[in-house]
Structure 1
Amino acid sequence: MSSLEQRIERLESIEEIRQLAARYALSLDMRDMDAHVNLFAPDIRVGRDKVGRAHFKAWQDATLRDQFTGTSHHLGQHLIELIDRDHACGVVYSKNEHECGPEWVVMQMLYWDDYERIEGRWYFRRRLPCYWYASDLNKPPIGDLKMRWPGREPYRGTFHDLFPSWSEFWARRPDKDVLPEVAPPVPLEQFLRGMRRDTPAPRIRVR
C-alpha cells in the first residue's frame, strides 16, 4: 500500500474501534444481548473453560439480572494503539451508574482492551475492567476500600494496577534541589504499552 492508503486505513481502523466501545455501552444498557455479544470475537473465552458467544451471552444475562435493575455507561477518553494491521489495544474511561435495589451506585473505571480484526471487521478480543470506586451516590468513596456494593464488604479496586507509575510515584521522595531526569518519548504507537511496561493483568473482582 502507498503511504496515503496506509494512513487512511489507520484512521478507519481507529474510528471503527472507537465505535465498538460506544456500541458496547449502548447495547449493554439497553440489554440487547445479541448486539452486545456480537461485538466480541466469535471464539471469545468465558471464564477458564468456556468459549464462544453463546456462553458469553448466558454469563452476561445472568450477571445483569442478578445485580442491576438498570445501568448507564458514560464513556470518556479513548486511547487506541495499532499493533499491526489486525491487532490493537486501547484504554477507555467509563463513568457508570447502577440501580441496585434501594441504592444508586456510581462507578469510575477504565477498560484495558485488546482488539482484533477478523475478516475485515474489528472486534473485542478481551476487555479488562479496572475499577477505582463504586459507591452509593450519597456516600463519597473516601479511603482505601473504594468498591462498596450493597450487601458486600468493601474491597480495593484495580484502577491503578496496570500501570507501575502509580506506586512508583508514591514510593519516590524527590529532592527539591535536584532536577529529575526525563526519559525520552516513546514511539507514537507505543504510548500505552510503554506506560504498562509489561505489567501483568491484575485479577479482577467483577462485584
Structure 2
Amino acid sequence: MPLTELTEKELGRLRRAADRDEIRQLAYRYAWGLDSRDLDAAAELFAPEANTGDGRGPAAWRSRFQQSMGAVGVTILLVGNHLIDFDDDDRAHGLVYCRGYIEPRDGAQPGRFVEQAILYRDRYRRVDGEWKFASRRHELWFGIETAERPLHQRAAEWPKHHDGVGTVPYAENSWQAFWAEHGGYRA
C-alpha cells in the first residue's frame, strides 16, 4: 500500500512508533555519554526546564555530571526494560531499568567494583522537534560490591585473550579529555 493511502490512524501509529524509538535513544545516549565521559552529549539530552536540584537545563546537567562522574572511574550502564506512556503528542513519561557496573573512587579500596540495579523515572518533552528529558530521577533497587576486581586483571589484548581488561572506555577521546581535566585516571 503506498504511503499516500495510509489512514490517519495508521499514520498516527507510525508517528508514535518513531517517537518511542527516539525516546529510547535518549536512554541509550545518556548511558554512553556518561560511560565515555562525553558530558556535553549527555547534557544536551535535557530540556531547558530539566531541573537538577541546583539548576535547570543542559548547562546545569553538565555541571552535575562533571561533579558526579569525577567521583567514579569506569562505569558501564546497561539499559534494559523501557516503558513509555504518552501524555499527549509532545509529552510522555516512562520507566527505564538499568544495570550499572561502577568503579567507586572514594579511596576505600582501589579496584573496588559495585553492581547496581537502577530505576530511572523519566519525563520526556519534544523541544524543537526533538525528544528530550524533561526530568530524570535515579532510584536504586540495590547496590552490591562485587567480589571480583575486574579492572585488576592483565590486558585482554583481544582477540588474543577472551578475559582481561579491554580498551573501552580508555581509548575514547572524551574519556581521555575528561580525565586530563581531573588529574588523570588509574585503575
Question: What is the TM-score with the length of structure 2 in the denominator?
Answer: 0.69
CA distance in 2 between counterparts of 1:88 and 1:52 reads 18
Match of 1:57 in 2: 62
Post-superposition Cα deviations, 1:86-141, rounded to whole Å, max 9, x if no partner, equal: 011111110001112421111011111100011211000111111011121129xx
Match of 2:9 in 1: 3
Aligned-pair CA distance for 1:34: 0.7
Structure 1 ranges of 4+ moved more than 4 A? none
Out of 70, 92, 96, which is 2:96 matched to?
Answer: 92
CA distance in 1 between counterparts of 2:117 and 2:34 reads 17
Question: Could you tell me which amino acid in structure 2 is paired with residue 91 of structure 1?
Answer: L
Match of 1:198 in 2: none
Check if 1:32 corresponds to 2:38.
yes
Match of 2:125 in 1: 116
CA distance in 1 between counterparts of 2:9 and 2:73 reads 50
Post-superposition Cα deviations, 1:63-101, rounded to whole Å, max 9, x if no partner, equal: 111x20110001111111111100111111100011124
Query: Secondary structure of the residue that 1:122 maps to in structure 2?
Result: strand
Match of 2:167 in 1: none
Post-superposition Cα deviations, 1:7-26, rounded to whole Å, max 9, x if no partner, equal: 11111100110111111101
Question: Could you tell me which amino acid in structure 2 is paired with residue 62 of structure 1?
Answer: Q
Check if 1:41 corresponds to 2:41.
no
What is the number of equivalent residue pairs in this alignment?
137
Post-superposition Cα deviations, 1:26-59, rounded to whole Å, max 9, x if no partner, equal: 11100001100000102322215x2222122112
Query: Secondary structure of the residue that 1:44 maps to in structure 2?
Result: coil
Out of 90, 93, 114, which is 1:105 matched to?
Answer: 114
Query: Secondary structure of the residue that 1:45 maps to in structure 2?
Result: coil
Question: What is the TM-score with the length of structure 1 in the denominator?
Answer: 0.63
Check if 1:134 corresponds to 2:143.
yes
Question: Could you tell me which amino acid in structure 2 is paired with residue 61 of structure 1?
Answer: Q
Query: Secondary structure of the residue that 1:41 maps to in structure 2?
Result: coil
Check if 1:78 corresponds to 2:78.
no
Asked if structure 1 preserves the Cα contact closer than 8 Å seen for 2:45 and 2:58, the reply is: no
Question: Could you tell me which amino acid in structure 1 is paired with residue 87 of structure 2?
Answer: I
Which blocks of at least 5 consecutive residues in structure 2 are unaligned?
1-6, 149-187
Between the two proteins, what is the percent identity of the paired residues?
Answer: 35
CA distance in 2 between counterparts of 1:40 and 1:47 reads 14
CA distance in 2 between counterparts of 1:43 and 1:87 reads 13
Asked if structure 1 preserves the Cα contact closer than 8 Å seen for 2:39 and 2:62, the reply is: yes
